[in-house]
Amino acid sequence: MKTALMIMDMQKDFIHPKGSLQVKGGKKIVLRVKRALEASRKAGLPVFHIKRIHRADGMDVEKFRYEMFKKMPYAVEKTEGSEIIEELRPKEGEIVLPKTRFSAFFHTNLDAILRRMGLARIVLVGIQSPNCIRATAVDALALDYDVVLLTDAIGSKTKKVHDSNMRDMRVMGMQVMTVDDFIKTLK
Amino acid sequence: MKTALMIMDMQKDFIHPKGSLQVKGGKKIVLRVKRALEASRKAGLPVFHIKRIHRADGMDVEKFRYEMFKKMPYAVEKTEGSEIIEELRPKEGEIVLPKTRFSAFFHTNLDAILRRMGLARIVLVGIQSPNCIRATAVDALALDYDVVLLTDAIGSKTKKVHDSNMRDMRVMGMQVMTVDDFIKTLK
């Protein structure tokens, strides 16, 4: 089955300690996401870099976050904070896809691109488990993709949040594995 | 703000002990869903009845559930099991909307109907918290609706699953309240 690696929201504003909206649990997965990325590149898997990108005026920010955004903007187009962190910088030819909501499928052409490329299985890493990872995974499942979650390369605010989300998604029919186990499947 | 009550998947196959896919935690919320329904009707709120409906051949069932469905079909169109339970039977003029995935927004015209009716706030009850309730709530949030969850009228397999999902959704910016508290807001 043709598989893609999909890296979610690993942007400076969310990962760096001085980022405007640092996500707890983001920093510590960087090296494992990098291992998954390098192994995927070596194995020839297509790589998707999903990033949140907002207008400076915030008109495309979720309504419930708009007041917060006005006080402390994050992931604003053309700012350094919106860039993907250096460790995971996209290579020429890899797909970089902007989004404005939790799900990478929401108001994007991600489904069309995946179909065109004949991809049937998505391996998800990045931040964070209850929001962007889960919303994207649930949409992928609804669209009949197979979904794999690399549990130790997915960031969560706390272990409790992480575990309950992995449990729910496993019950839905997604596959949960470690980066090491994923890399073994590539050999 | 114009508000709708939305009742999710309270169908015989999922609620009745002899239903083909009984959801644990479904039966015990029936009376509280009924109270929310009756109070909403009395207050003149539009009511949406969302139901899962599948073709008998299962071609519109999620891929990951297809094998299970073939062995034990559920929510098949025109069968008694697909009907909404007697206690919550829709009234003339209320909207009954079929769907094939977790989210009531997925490949349906729910968003178009809500907009046409000028509705901006959705009050969710029914089954079950990690799947259909959460997927619908997350899509509603992405579409900038305000979302209210009536926690004691939402079914979950276990208390643990229930609590972790309510926690995550509260953090996302949804409002979580009891049926009693909701009814007080209607007066």
Annotated domain spans of chain A? 3-53+84-185
Q: Which residues contact A11 (CB under 8 A, 6 or more apart)?
A: A19, A51, A52, A75, A81, A82, A83, A84, A85
Mutation pick from A62, A121, A159 vs chain B, by most beta carbons of B within 10 Å, is: A62
Q: What is the mean pLDDT of residues A58-87?
A: 96
Tell me, yes or no, if A181 comes closer than 8 A to chain B by beta carbon.
no
3-state DSSP helix/strand/coil % of chain A, to nearest 5: 40, 20, 35
CA distance A91 to chain B (A): 30
pLDDT at B78: 97
Indicate if the pLDDT at residue A63 is higher than 90.
yes
Residue written as tokens 């008109």?
Answer: A59
Q: Which residues contact B146 (CB under 8 A, 6 or more apart)?
A: A63, A64, B1, B120, B121, B122, B175
Residue A155 belongs to what H/E stretch? strand A146-155
Tell me, yes or no, if A141 comes closer than 8 A to chain B by beta carbon.
yes
Tell me, yes or no, if A171 comes closer than 8 A to chain B by beta carbon.
yes
Tell me, yes or no, if B168 comes closer than 8 A to chain A by beta carbon.
yes
Judged by CB atoms closer than 8 Å, whether chains meet at A141 and B65 is answered as no
Q: Choose the closest CB to A144 out of B63, B139, B167.
A: B63
Supply the pTM of this predicted model. Answer: 0.94
Per CATH, the architecture of B3-53+84-185 is what?
Answer: 3-Layer(aba) Sandwich (3.40)
For chain B, the average pLDDT equals 96
Rg (chain B; Cα; Å): 15
Tell me, yes or no, if B131 comes closer than 8 A to chain A by beta carbon.
yes
CA distance B100 to chain A (A): 9
In chain B, what residues touch A164 (CB-CB under 8 Å)?
160-161, 164-165, 168
Tell me, yes or no, if B69 comes closer than 8 A to chain A by beta carbon.
no
pLDDT tens, position by position, A139-163 = 999 999 999 999 999 999 999 999 9
Tell me, yes or no, if B111 comes closer than 8 A to chain A by beta carbon.
no
pLDDT at A187: 80
CB B47 within 8 A of CB B41: yes
Can you tell me the distance from the alpha carbon of B48 to that of B114, in angstroms, rounded to the nearest whole number? 10
pLDDT at A81: 97
Indicate if the pLDDT at residue B77 is higher than 90.
yes
pLDDT at B187: 80
pLDDT at B172: 96
pLDDT at A24: 87
In chain B, what residues touch A137 (CB-CB under 8 Å)?
none
